[in-house]
Amino acid sequence: MEKLFIFDTTLRDGEQVPGCQLNTIEKIEVAKALEELGVDVIEAGFPVSSPGDFNSVVEISKAVTWPTICALTRAVEKDIEVAAEALKYAKNKRMHTGIGTSDLHIKYKFNSTQEEILNRAVAAVSYAKKFVEDVEFYAEDAGRTNNEYLAKVVQAVVNAGATVINIPDTTGYCLPTEYGEKIKYIVEHVDMKNAILSTHCHQDLGMATANSIMGVINGARQVEVTINGIGERAGNTSLEEVVMAIKSHKELNIETNINTQKIYPLSKMVSNLMNMPIQPNKAIVGRNAFAHSSGIHQDGVLKNLSTYEIIDPKEVGIKDNSIVLTARSGRHALKSRLNLLDIKVDADELSQIYTKFLELADRKKDINDEDLLILCGRELNSTNRIKLEYLQISSGKGMKSVAVVTLNIAGEKFTNSSFGNGPVDAAIKAVREIIKRQVTIQEFLIQAINKGSDDLGKVHMQIEYNDVVYYGFSANTDITTASVEAFIDAINKIPV
């Protein structure tokens, strides 16, 4: 098996998304998680761009042990000097320098010539080699660069000592075959010595992962990626997609160092820290990636997972797939959910319940366990064992949020107060202190039902208790109340 190096640029290219900036402490947290994931190279920042980026590269270099820490520069001596200073504590360090090579960049960005750009590229690599041994060169907008000229530049920087050559499809323009042929052309026309080729593809036309894989098939041995595919404009190549595509296709005879079971937890961490929700249908890590609502699909999955799942969700750190009950669900899925609720029915009873179920599913978007219990004429005592009786919040600018909560638990009332980082946090902390169960909130989704400020908002909550996942739901004009009720709804589903 050949090794494919994973170069993660979440903390540099990924962080260029407006509103997703992280502070140094948060960057260190992500960098340590990337190290645990098994990433080979962490691009920690662009040191000359700001004091914050410089400091982040310094502190990440101190905090991370074995991955290579990379700092970005332009083909400018000052950039390179500042990057070298920022990397001084890194155990394994790399400088990532380069310049635009397409005719568009040469003419309009640099007002220069191909020969001058080639000389600047060589000068940048040569100068960077004075500070670090490991120098990566990027040919910006290589996707739209003439292959013959691109190969000429690559040969020149390899001769100057570059150890990695990055061929970016900066604008996401290339078709997969076109990008693969570009990598192949370089492999066939350049004496790479001991240097390797790297892909860096963008998602403008939705082909970043396909282009990266075609690059690997044609000889690239490093891929530049971000968690959740975040990044400039439409985003970068998604780490999780490339890694799982490589893992799924054994015939490529390529492997990575990634511990795939840590993908989903890191995906959620980055999403939360950057306040950038993951689209539900996102490959690998989206909420619906392993969810099945079609009756045909549900039937197949319940019989054998491989009928509709090419990846075991546990491989990426997700505990199980999800059978979502909708109007398209079949009898097999309904019976499976009833069995989980410990409701045993014969064929005739199932047919009667299924008819009622379809009528309800046509009217109601979300079919939950409570709905099924009512359809079956049953109600578990635990379902409504805990009820929210009273909630008062004190919150505002310049003050710590305080919540007072009263719960009715099996007829007995309990009251508690708690401080928190905002009204929802304070209220849920107060509930936690009353129920005294060690539950973990895995997913917390707030959605507006309508667009007005006084309309209903709905909250979906996913919690984990003793390695089992439970779901809660509520809707209310007050989002704090809805959040607490959804949390309690999930708690109520834990067996007493």
pLDDT tens per residue, the chain (496 residues)?
Answer: 999 999 999 999 998 888 888 999 999 999 999 999 999 999 999 999 999 999 999 999 999 999 999 999 999 999 999 999 999 999 999 999 999 999 999 999 999 999 999 999 999 999 999 999 999 999 999 999 999 999 999 999 999 999 999 999 999 999 999 999 999 999 999 999 999 999 999 999 999 999 999 999 999 999 999 999 999 899 999 999 999 999 999 999 999 999 999 999 999 999 989 988 888 889 999 877 776 666 667 667 567 767 767 788 889 997 766 667 777 788 888 888 788 777 888 888 888 888 888 887 787 666 766 677 767 765 444 456 899 999 999 988 888 899 999 999 988 999 999 999 899 999 999 999 999 888 999 888 886 555 555 556 778 888 889 888 888 878 777 889 989 998 998 898 888 7
Tell me whether strands 440-448 and 222-225 are parallel, antiparallel or unpaired: unpaired
Domain limits, CATH 3.30.160.270, in the chain? 383-492
Per DSSP, the three-state class of 261 is helix
Q: How many CA atoms lie within 13 A of 70 on its CB side?
A: 27
Q: What pLDDT is recorded for position 293? A: 61
CATH of 2-272, one of 3.40.640.10, 3.40.50.300, 3.20.20.70, 1.10.10.10: 3.20.20.70
Tokens at 292, concatenated: 């099945």
Q: How many helical (H) and strand (E) elements, i.e. helices and strands, does the chain have?
A: 16, 18
Tokens at 419, concatenated: 């401080």
CA distance 32 to 60: 8
Name the CA radius of gyration of the chain, rounded. Answer: 27
> Binding site for Mn(2+): what residues are annotated?
13, 200, 202, 236
Strand partners, 323: 292
Per DSSP, the three-state class of 11 is coil
> Binding site: what residues are annotated?
13, 200, 202, 236
In terms of Cα–Cα distance, which of 170, 177, 310 is closest to 237? 170
Which H or E element spans position 323?
strand 322-323
CA distance 202 to 375: 49
Residues 6+ apart with CB under 8 A from 206: 234
Which H or E element spans position 24?
helix 24-37
What phi and psi, each to the nearest 5 degrees, are found at residue 379? -150, 120
CA distance 83 to 213: 30
Tokens at 99, concatenated: 């310049």
CA distance 128 to 132: 6
Domain limits, CATH 3.20.20.70, in the chain? 2-272
> Is the C-alpha dihedral spanning 8, 14, 20, 21 positive or negative?
positive
CA distance 174 to 222: 18
Q: What pLDDT is recorded for position 70? A: 98
Give how far the C-alpha of residue 65 lies from the chain's centroid of Cα atoms, to the nearest Å.
23
Q: What pLDDT is recorded for position 176? A: 98
Output DSSP code: residue 91.
S
CA distance 286 to 278: 6
Its CATH class, for the domain covering 383-492, is alpha beta
b/e per residue 184-199 (b: at least 16 CB within 10 A): bbbeeebeeeebbbbb
